């Protein structure tokens, strides 16, 4: 919690200082123009990179794979987009680093080295055969014969009424 508080105080101070120094060097209107230009370029890069990441994720899902890398890239892209929307040169620098594929992959690799990522994949068939099924066929609370027990993929639609 204190780290976030320091960041919320420190980042605006650094941004204001850099904006003042750049404004003194090149003028206020040119500084404002650079901030707007970097935001415009960043938003367009974010759109292009985001769409390509989404396309790769959809391709992997259509192949039956989990798009874990693409999901992490999407998070880094979102953080980069937020940094680019924030006015200032320091956040723009880090935002562009999140959008450039080479640096984005380095950021992801560095971040993942600090975490353990666990993914699970469960197909439709193994779901029905899972040992944690609350109503396995042999102990089903429904009164029916073996031939009436639904099999995988069967859908039973019906109505009921309670009789005491």
Q: How confident is the model at residue 56 (pLDDT cuts 50, 70, 90)?
A: confident
R_g (Cα) of the chain, nearest Å: 27
Q: What is the pTM of this model?
A: 0.62
pLDDT at 116 over 70: no
pLDDT at 29 over 80: yes
Report d(CA 78, CA 92) in Å as an integer. Answer: 13
pLDDT at 120 over 50: yes
Which is higher by pLDDT, 122 or 32? 32
pLDDT-wise least confident of 29-43, 75-89, 111-125: 111-125
Which is higher by pLDDT, 149 or 97? 97
Residue (of 107, 94, 101, 93) closest to 53 by Cα position: 101
Q: How confident is the model at residue 90 (pLDDT cuts 50, 70, 90)?
A: very high
Domain boundaries, the chain: 9-112
How many Cβ atoms sit within 10 Å of the Cβ of residue 104?
20
């Amino acid at each position: 919690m204190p780290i976030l508080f320091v960041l919320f105080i420190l980042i605006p101070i650094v941004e204001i200082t850099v904006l003042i120094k750049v404004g003194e060097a090149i003028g206020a209107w040119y500084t404002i123009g650079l901030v707007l230009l970097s935001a415009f370029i960043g938003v367009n890069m974010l759109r292009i990179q985001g769409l390509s990441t989404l396309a790769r994720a959809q391709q992997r899902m259509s192949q039956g794979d989990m798009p874990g890398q693409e999901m992490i890239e999407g998070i880094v892209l979102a953080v980069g987009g937020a940094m680019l929307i924030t006015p200032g040169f320091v956040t723009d620098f880090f935002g562009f680093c999140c959008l450039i594929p080479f640096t984005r992959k380095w950021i992801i690799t560095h971040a993942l080295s600090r975490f353990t990522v666990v993914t699970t994949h469960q197909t439709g068939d193994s779901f029905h055969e899972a040992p944690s099924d609350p109503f396995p066929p042999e102990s089903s609370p429904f009164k029916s014969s073996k031939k009436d027990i639904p099999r995988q993929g069967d859908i039973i639609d019906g109505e009921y009424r309670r009789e005491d």
